[in-house]
Amino acid sequence: MKPTPTNPAPADAAERKAFTPVICYPTDSLPAYDPTLFEAARESMRLINQVTVQPRDADIVAVPKGHFVRLVCVDTPQVGDVNLWNAHDIAERFYSGKTRALYGSHVSTGDKLMSNMPYLRPMATITNDTLDWYGWDDFGGSVHDVIGTRCDPYTNAYLHGKDYDNCCHSNLIRALAKHTGLSANDVEPYVHDVLNLFMCSGFTPDTKQYFIKASPVRGGDYLELFAEIDLLVGLSACPGGDCSETHSSDVAVCGPLRIEVYKPADDTLGDWQAPERAGYKGTHGL
């Protein structure tokens, strides 16, 4: 919305603005997050795989359902872009829009990361977040957003007239093509809007523009996910570094990220079961 209107306000403008907002998707019917379900599993888990994602690059790791994955800042403050796919069908992938509608603009412990339609089920649950202390700052910013799109070469060319291929969109395309053996053109439609890992972001109060600011992440911080289904976890180390100035740059200070996969003991998840696809089985009235 432009800050300066070009049309006069109607006589009942104040009345129209005074309606009380309602939550679009009440989540009271969703199962409440139960940390005790994961406590024993987390205590028993052991590291079975780890991959270091180099600065301005991306990698993909398979994470079996019922396992944990930690997305770790290694040393230099660094943000990352996260994609999730069903390991058996990349057409099912993370749906940032529906996750945002259900859980809010920024996610943390207890929130679930949903897949796209027609699947629409939890792909992962956030089980630990070392930055959950941050909350909301005086600028309206918070951490781990599902509002911003990944940096990409198309927007960069549109705004600046320059080609730049180390952006997260391109990084994730190359990583997914390598992992699946498909061509870059074949996998590009499956690279989707992201979970902005460690990104500190929000909307300006006047123009409501998306902003980024220096991330509070430090070496050793991590976001931990529990895989609800067999996953491919894609992680790009953003070329903006900590995103204190930009999110597409060859001059920003960048550091590595790490993907760590943990297997819990077999008898520690109780009666947990992988979620089924959404209950809707109709034909859209056709």
Q: Is the pLDDT of residue 283 over 90?
A: no
Share of the chain above pLDDT 90, in %: 80
- Say if residue 118 is preceded by a cis peptide, omega within 30 of 0: yes
User: What residues does 72 pair with on adjacent strands?
Assistant: 222, 258
pLDDT tens-place string over residues 199-231: 999 999 988 899 999 999 999 999 999 999 999
Task: Give the per-residue pLDDT at 240.
Answer: 92
- Cα–Cα dist 244/254, whole Å: 11
Check: CB of residue 48 under 8 Å from CB of residue 261: yes
Average pLDDT over residues 105-120: 97
Indicate the pTM of the whole model. Answer: 0.95
For residues 271 and 44, the model is more confident at 44
Q: Is the pLDDT of residue 52 over 70?
A: yes
pLDDT category, 180, cuts 50, 70, 90? very high
Q: Where are the domains of the chain?
A: 46-263
Share of the chain above pLDDT 70, in %: 99
Q: CB burial class (10 A; 0-12, 13-18, 19+) of residue 212?
A: buried
Q: Is the pLDDT of residue 2 over 70?
A: no
pLDDT category, 1, cuts 50, 70, 90? low
